[in-house]
Chain A
Amino acid sequence: MPTVTLRRGPSGPPVILSDTLVDPGEVLGRALTFVDPAPASELDGAQVGAVTRYAGNFGIILAPGTYHNLAIPDGVQGVDIDPNPNGDVFVTGFEVAGRGNAGAFFTLGKFNAGGRVILLPNDGGSLEGNRIVTPGGIPYELTNASDTTYVQAVTRDGQPTVFQVADRLVPPTGVTPELNGFAALIDVTVPFVAGGGGAADDVTVLNPLPFNSRVLDVTLLISTAVVGSTATLRSAVGGGGGALSSALSTAATGTVRNNDTTTRTTSAGFFLRRSDSGVAGTITVTFCRI
């Protein structure tokens, strides 16, 4: 009979679980000091997998409103919230029945299309040990039907358990490259002040780029103009590299837009080459990952 050894840690007694894998729905536990013990042995891959298969689900209909210490049955792996009637359901904490929160985890889903499920981080409405931690400390929203996220209880020494949402705020590096012409848009905006004037120089807009990029549009807001001057987005300083935009006139204040004949790509950087450093304003480059 195979056994699996779960150790609570150096400070706690080791725990032995033995199992008989009749089918994934029946797992037997037995003390190691069983009268007629079978040798303890590590479970192999398939056996461990069978032990960890579990489909417990908890579905709940919640009317719009705020819920503190939302009770979750012990041992479930799926928690499905149905906002009904449609509206916003705010949850400030979870409380797992029976054995407490430590080690609990589940997939939290939103059932049906209407309403929203919004997790509020570190909200005082719930007990400290039941509260939620979200990426960036902002409310975490499940908006669409079948939106889901993984939630894991985290317990640190001497601190209350918290429920961590396994997600991140999406950084620019978190978008997929352009595919079949479709692309998520990214902007970078940089204000630039006037230098001494009378000579060309470079304004670093973004260097290095986080990925190979395609410039889709460039907009300049010119607050200080210099007669006869221009500015061009380039992939290197000193007027080097390739041009990533048309030469934009900076001879008058106001908004100036790219007038290129095609999109441009680069793996280097974005630099605004201004023919006269006396020009001041703001540049916005709209680009996508390729």
Chain B
Amino acid sequence: MTAIEIRQGPSGPPTTLSDTLSPPGTVLGAAIDAVGRSFAVPLEGDALGAIQRFAQYAAIDLPAGTQDNVPIPDGAAVFDVTPTGAVILPGVAMTARGNTGGFLLRKSGVTGTLSISSNTSSVPNNRFFTASASLYSLESESDAVRIFRFNTRWQAARRLLVAAGQSPSADGSPALTFSIRTTFTTTGAGADDITITLAIPVGAVIYDAICQISIAVGGSTAVVRSAAGGGGVALTSTFDTATTGTRRNNATSLSTVAMSSSLFLRRSSGNIAGTIIVFCKPAP
């Protein structure tokens, strides 16, 4: 083990970063002190893959707070951070040859959180960028994310979880859920349709819905259907929209819609206004 004395940043105390280098195995090519030979060996297959294998491992303990421009040893394949409290990394700096390639950023230990902030480092060349510029957090033990070098930035190669990006779930299995929300205003006296979606991105089970009425019309109702004009099938119970407030689904069974299906709110009066929220889970 080799200890490298580094500084976390202008305001932080020196921290010892352990840089443990494991033998990468036999890498084709020759050691610098090899006896002179004139072999020029085409590397292919496993040998070519082996060139890219390097086992350099770097670990660091970081105290809570923002730790900017934390140094990483040149060529590190894995950067393992043990946070004490909530740690935010705006940027990191590779030593020696500068920032290039990429590495696996990993959170060690069960305590604290390790987050990378997007486009905030004091040194532009050291900055992380994240999906949607959101704070990207590693919270669980052994959470990890691959960091790639894109142009002049470190890019976390992950997306945020999208509403319809979750695993299908059969009855009796845990499910991640999502909602579809549409507000609607008054448009006229006659019955009409409010488009909730024209293409639901996944097949979905509708397990609940609420209709919040801000402008009511005596004797009016509304219902979520699979087609406009009152066509298709009803996907919820009929909501009483005669008074303001929140109306809740009272269906007697679940409804299922296929991917790319449409959902409409059929209202008996165009003079009601409010919000429809449909609660779904991905269908198996």
Q: Do A and B come from one complex?
A: yes
B254 at the interface (CB under 8 A from A): no
The yes or no answer to B145 lying at the interface (CB within 8 A) is yes
Chain B 158-213 residues near chain A, CB threshold 8 A:
158-164, 166-168, 176-183, 196-197, 201, 210, 212-213
Interface string of A14-39 (1 = CB under 8 A from B): 11111010000111111111111000
Distance between Cα atoms of A27 and B168 in the complex (Å): 44
Q: Which of A171-179, A201-209, A223-231, A274-282 sits within the interface?
A: A171-179
- Contact flags B14-42 to A (C-beta < 8 A → 1, else 0): 00001111111111111111111111111
Are the CB atoms of B246 and A260 closer together than 8 Å?
Answer: yes
A27 to B48, CA, bound (A): 8
Complex Cα spacing A181 to B106, Å: 34
A46, chain B: closest CB distance, angstroms: 13
- Residue of B whose beta carbon sits closest to that of A180: B197
Which of B22, B31, B144, B158 makes the CB contact (< 8 A) with A164? B144
Q: Are A168 and B144 in contact (CB under 8 A)?
A: yes
Question: Is A13 in contact with B32, judged by CB distance below 8 angstroms?
Answer: yes
> Which of B25, B106, B134, B196 is within 8 Å of A99, CB to CB?
B25
- Is A41 on the interface with B (CB-CB < 8 A)? no
Given A102-B22, A182-B180: A168 touches B138 (CB 8 Å cut-off)? yes
Asked if A176 contacts B141 (CB within 8 A), the reply is no
Complex Cα distance A165/B143, Å?
Answer: 8
Q: State whether the Cβ of B71 lies closer than 8 Å to any Cβ in chain A.
A: no
Q: Are B23 and A102 in contact, CB atoms less than 8 angstroms apart?
A: yes
* Contact of A17 with B274 in the complex, beta carbons under 8 Å: no
Q: Which residues of B contact A165 (CB under 8 A)?
A: 142, 144
Q: Across the interface, which residues of A come within 8 angstroms of B279, CB to CB?
A: 185
Binds A, one of B54-62, B120-128, B219-227, B231-239: B54-62
Interface size class on chain A is: 35 or more
Q: Number of contacts between A and B (CB, 8 Å)?
A: 312
A150-193 interface code vs B (CB 8 A; 1 in, 0 out): 10111111000100111111110111111111111100000000
For residue A72, give the distance in angstroms from its CB to the closest CB of chain B.
11
Q: CA separation between A134 and B140, bound complex, in Å?
A: 10
Closest to B25 in A: A99
Q: Is A68 an interface residue (CB 8 A)?
A: no
Choose among A10, A156, A166, A170 the residue that contacts B104 (Cβ–Cβ < 8 A).
A166
Q: Which of B20, B42, B52, B161 has the most CB of A within 10 A?
A: B52
- The answer to whether A263 and B55 touch across the interface, beta carbons within 8 angstroms, is no
With contacts A15-B31, A29-B41, A33-B37 known, is A99 near B179, CB below 8 A? no
Residue in chain A with minimal CB distance to B21: A9
Assembly CA distance A143 to B35 (angstroms)? 52
Given A34-B36, A168-B145, A261-B213, are A103 and B163 also a contact pair (CB < 8 Å)? no
Are A8 and B161 in contact, with the CB atoms below 8 A?
Answer: no
Q: B residues within 8 A CB of A121?
A: 142
Which of B75, B181, B279 has most A Cβ within 10 Å?
B181
B50 A157 Cβ-Cβ under 8 A: no
Q: Are B245 and A103 touching (Cβ within 8 A)?
A: no
B9 smallest CB distance to A (angstroms): 24
Q: A77: CB under 8 A from chain B?
A: yes
In the complex, A56 has a CB within 8 A of chain B: yes
A6-B27, A42-B97, A167-B158 are known; give 19 further A-B pairs, CB within 8 A: A7-B74, A14-B32, A25-B44, A29-B30, A51-B51, A77-B49, A99-B46, A102-B24, A135-B141, A135-B143, A137-B142, A152-B78, A154-B104, A157-B1, A164-B106, A168-B137, A182-B178, A182-B179, A261-B246
4 nearest A-B residue pairs (beta carbon): A75-B49, A9-B21, A31-B30, A99-B25
